[in-house]
Amino acid sequence: MNLPPLDPPARILLGPGPSEASPRVLRAQALPLVGHLDPYFVQLMDETMNLLRQVFGTQNRLAIPVSGTGSAGMEAAFVNMLSPGDRVVVGVNGVFGERMCDVARRCGAQVHRVEAEWGQTLPLETIQSALRQHRPQVLALVHAETSTGALQPLEGLSEAAGETGALLLVDTVTSLGGAPVEVDRNGIDICYSGTQKCLSAPPGLAPITFSEVALARLKSRSTRVQSWYLDMSMIEKYWGGERLYHHTAPISAIYGLREALAVVLEEGLEARYLRHRRNAEMLWAGLEDLGLKLVVDRARRIPSLTTVYSPDGVAEQDIRKKLLERYGIEIGGGLGPFKGRVWRIGLMGESSTQRNILYLLAALRELL
Amino acid sequence: MNLPPLDPPARILLGPGPSEASPRVLRAQALPLVGHLDPYFVQLMDETMNLLRQVFGTQNRLAIPVSGTGSAGMEAAFVNMLSPGDRVVVGVNGVFGERMCDVARRCGAQVHRVEAEWGQTLPLETIQSALRQHRPQVLALVHAETSTGALQPLEGLSEAAGETGALLLVDTVTSLGGAPVEVDRNGIDICYSGTQKCLSAPPGLAPITFSEVALARLKSRSTRVQSWYLDMSMIEKYWGGERLYHHTAPISAIYGLREALAVVLEEGLEARYLRHRRNAEMLWAGLEDLGLKLVVDRARRIPSLTTVYSPDGVAEQDIRKKLLERYGIEIGGGLGPFKGRVWRIGLMGESSTQRNILYLLAALRELL
């Protein structure tokens, strides 16, 4: 038993996540542990909920980190809101919409897909007509489709869902903290995210929030939530005034998240969105300058995740390998129909800096 | 936005978990992030699996950390092994056996309980007769019942389960790393634990291992695993040779776990069990010396978690509050029928030291 000390290489994380975490956040994770019912931790839970509410843009009572990654957030959203036989309309224009369908089917729900091409977004009218046709309990959409780089507009969705009695469920894994989400203003009932994207905390937690209407729906269920671990009716008793033990909270990760949220709010949400936007534009111009073609129309691009076609005749995997080995830069490859054809470049949170962009562009210029 | 810096108080963690983490483990969590498909991380995953196999005492191919706390490990065990209508025999002699029943029922399984009083363990003959009567797909038991302090013997269980064709599923959340688990020697098919007990890493991950027979059962399912997040048939493709993306691994927590496992194996499993045992005996003698009565018979006590009746006429919650405020010591209160009557004192991993024991006993002597 003589393992070498852990010594991860220094990477510039410009993939689809994790993004870089600030040293302040990483140091928070090295703080000594306290118990999950310690008065200090209980106060930190309240503080974290308060910070989450600000970042989500909500007055919702329930705004907490699920003890799992962004995908656990997705599962928590669906298992709590769907009972067997329920209908759900899911927008599908990439991997994460597909994943929503998979998760919803495992809840025993009837899944109705509204589809768009990869890289496109879903027109409001298409969504409206699906809602009128299927009258689902839930309308589920991905705000920022990490697999394609397309940003779904949130305007009008709440009204459309409300018209047919559906709750609005939105995945903001790649957008929260990097682009406006505004849960209350956009009338989102269930919203979840991940820590490792624009919040720039390490992966491991999934911030989630439920509106009072969503919580009332949860309370009126006639069947039990199929997941004990993610049953929000029990979890909210730990995060709420009762402090009733459910599962042991991931102390270190919550230290890190609290610190990451403080960093986000010290910068200010508007300033942060502007930084993500400006840096994205710098990247887009630079990529086009290299002769590369962006996948998504300018008006629909995610500021924190850019998709670009790799040049014809170039082994894109080889370029990514060289970027990592020679320059220490991680970018992502394409998934599904984009595999072997598209790069995914994340400019998320701490990773969204002019220095990273210019370095990446310089490296690409050398390699291409 | 001017939050004070995070500054958790120094605590002596002698509750039912989390235990103290060594500074080396905490520092590992402050290391810079790499991507979840980075060659460095992939090698670290292999290393972590290898360390987990040693700690579990198994040659199983699949030995990984589930991306959630110990309860997520429990849920992962059940959702992967049970289909609706399956039968499961569950040993119930405390909170965690009850939790198993709840989780199994949510899988649509028929749950048959084998019960013992809190603080007692389950006789093998009782288990055998339940197996013969119900012929379940799974026999589920808690090795170390954290709510009662009773350690269930593992001898004979595998033979009993095998006789009626059941897989043996064992919860070792509070025992792994502190008392012999020996997955292969004890013929355990599905075994899970938590990081925050005798492994002395922060809470957030659930080590789990499946035997080849259990994996074959998983592959032959006719229904999908109801949890997408915990579906081991997909997760094993990320941890196995394919490295197929499932969800973003919690990088920092895995750094911490790898380091914690290295600490465990550098001490050596036998030496570690002996330390836990000797320290437990020192605690037991000290408590009896204070005139306190232990809950569990000596032969059945968990070395890492001791239950003791609080003195008659003493407000036990008040003593715990004073221990925390005046001495910085956390111990746990009782749950269920033990609420208000029993203290739970953990001596887990890094927390299991002579210094902590003598300090706690001295503090109790002053307070009682």
At A31-55, the pLDDT tens digits run 999 999 999 999 999 999 999 999 9
Chain A contacts of B7, Cβ < 8 Å? 31
Task: Band the pLDDT of B241: cuts 50, 70, 90.
Answer: confident
Residue B343 sits in a domain whose CATH number is 3.90.1150.10
- Contact residues, B window 210-229, toward A, CB-based 8 Å cutoff: 224-229
Whether residue B52 is found in the same domain as residue B166: yes
Q: Is A197 at the interface with chain B, CB within 8 A?
A: no
Q: What is the pLDDT of residue A161?
A: 98
Do the domain assignments include residue A7? no
Whether residue A221 is found in the same domain as residue A238: yes
The C-alpha atoms of residue A278 and residue A287 are separated, in whole angstroms, by: 14
The C-alpha atoms of residue A41 and residue A32 are separated, in whole angstroms, by: 12
Percent of the residues in chain A that have a pLDDT greater than 90, as a whole number: 99
Q: Residue B184 burial by CB count (10 A; 0-12/13-18/19+): exposed, middle or buried?
A: middle
Q: What is the pLDDT of residue B319?
A: 98
Domain tally for chain B?
2
Chain A contacts of B248, Cβ < 8 Å? 17-18, 69-71, 194, 196, 203
Q: Are A75 and B194 in contact (CB under 8 A)?
A: no
CA angle A252, A256, A259 (to 5 degrees): 140
The C-alpha atoms of residue A84 and residue A101 are separated, in whole angstroms, by: 14
The C-alpha atoms of residue A75 and residue B6 are separated, in whole angstroms, by: 31
User: Nearest-CA distance from B33 to chain A in Å?
Assistant: 7
Range of the domain at B210: 23-265
A14, A196, A252: best mutation site toward chain B, by most B Cβ within 10 Å? A252
Name the nearest CA neighbour of B90 among B19, B163, B145. B145
The C-alpha atoms of residue A330 and residue B275 are separated, in whole angstroms, by: 44
Percent of the residues in chain B that have a pLDDT greater than 90, as a whole number: 99
Do the domain assignments include residue B221? yes
The C-alpha atoms of residue A29 and residue A254 are separated, in whole angstroms, by: 8
Whether residue A177 is found in the same domain as residue A37: yes
Whether residue B192 is found in the same domain as residue B299: no
pLDDT, one tens digit per residue, over B181-240 is 999 999 999 999 999 999 999 999 999 999 999 999 999 999 999 999 999 999 999 999
Whether residue B215 is found in the same domain as residue B297: no
The C-alpha atoms of residue A229 and residue A248 are separated, in whole angstroms, by: 11
Q: Do B26 and A27 touch (CB under 8 A)?
A: no
Do the domain assignments include residue B252? yes
The DSSP string of B112-155 is: EEEE--TT----HHHHHHHHHHH--SEEEEESEETTTTEE---T
Over residues A304-330, mean pLDDT: 97
B25, B29, B37, B245: best mutation site toward chain A, by most A Cβ within 10 Å? B29
Do the domain assignments include residue B129? yes
Whether residue B206 is found in the same domain as residue B287: no
E strands, A184-328, are 190-192, 206-210, 305-309
Please give the mean pLDDT across all residues of chain B: 97
Do the domain assignments include residue B324? yes
Whether residue A227 is found in the same domain as residue A258: yes
Of the partner residues B29, B67, B251, the one whose CB lies closest to the CB of residue A18: B251
The C-alpha atoms of residue A180 and residue A172 are separated, in whole angstroms, by: 10
Strand partners of residue B306: B345
Domain boundary pick from A201, A233, A265: A265
Q: Is B334 at the interface with chain A, CB within 8 A?
A: no
Task: Band the pLDDT of A2: cuts 50, 70, 90.
Answer: confident
Chain mean position to CA A276: 15
Whether residue A183 is found in the same domain as residue A110: yes
Q: Are strands B206-210 and B190-192 parallel, antiparallel or unpaired?
A: antiparallel
Q: Is A110 at the interface with chain B, CB within 8 A?
A: no
Chain B contacts of A228, Cβ < 8 Å? 71, 74-75, 99, 102-103, 106
Do the domain assignments include residue A280? yes
Chain B contacts of A107, Cβ < 8 Å? 226
Over residues B45-56, mean pLDDT: 98
The C-alpha atoms of residue B275 and residue B303 are separated, in whole angstroms, by: 9
Chain A contacts of B18, Cβ < 8 Å? 33, 35-36, 248, 251
Q: What is the pLDDT of residue B316?
A: 97
Name the nearest CA neighbour of B116 among B125, B108, B107. B125
CB within 8 Å of B101: residues ≥ 6 apart: B90, B92, B111, B113
Residue A106 structure tokens:
């495992």
Of the partner residues A40, A251, A262, the one whose CB lies closest to the CB of residue B3: A262
The C-alpha atoms of residue B241 and residue B279 are separated, in whole angstroms, by: 42
Over residues A165-181, mean pLDDT: 98
- Per-residue pLDDT for B7 more than 80? yes
- Per-residue pLDDT for B274 more than 80? yes
Whether residue B188 is found in the same domain as residue B306: no
What pTM value is reported for the model?
Answer: 0.98
Residue B200 sits in a domain whose CATH number is 3.40.640.10
Strand partners of residue B91: B114
Chain mean position to CA B236: 21
- Per-residue pLDDT for B2 more than 90? no
Name the nearest CA neighbour of B151 among B280, B272, B304. B304
pLDDT, one tens digit per residue, over B100-136 is 999 999 999 999 999 999 999 999 999 999 999 999 9
Domain boundary pick from B226, B250, B265: B265
- Per-residue pLDDT for B152 more than 80? yes
- Per-residue pLDDT for A357 more than 90? yes
Amino acid at A364: L
Q: Residue B54 burial by CB count (10 A; 0-12/13-18/19+): exposed, middle or buried?
A: middle
Whether residue A222 is found in the same domain as residue A284: no
Size of interface A-B (CB pairs under 8 A): 234
- Contact residues, B window 132-171, toward A, CB-based 8 Å cutoff: none
Of the partner residues A15, A38, A203, the one whose CB lies closest to the CB of residue B250: A203
Q: What is the pLDDT of residue A241?
A: 86
Whether residue A111 is found in the same domain as residue A221: yes
Do the domain assignments include residue B146? yes
Do the domain assignments include residue B27? yes
Whether residue B217 is found in the same domain as residue B350: no
Name the nearest CA neighbour of B141 among B132, B128, A328. B128
Domain boundary pick from A265, A282, A304: A265
Chain A contacts of B35, Cβ < 8 Å? 11, 13, 15, 18, 330
This complex has an ipTM of 0.98
Residue B160 structure tokens:
């009993």
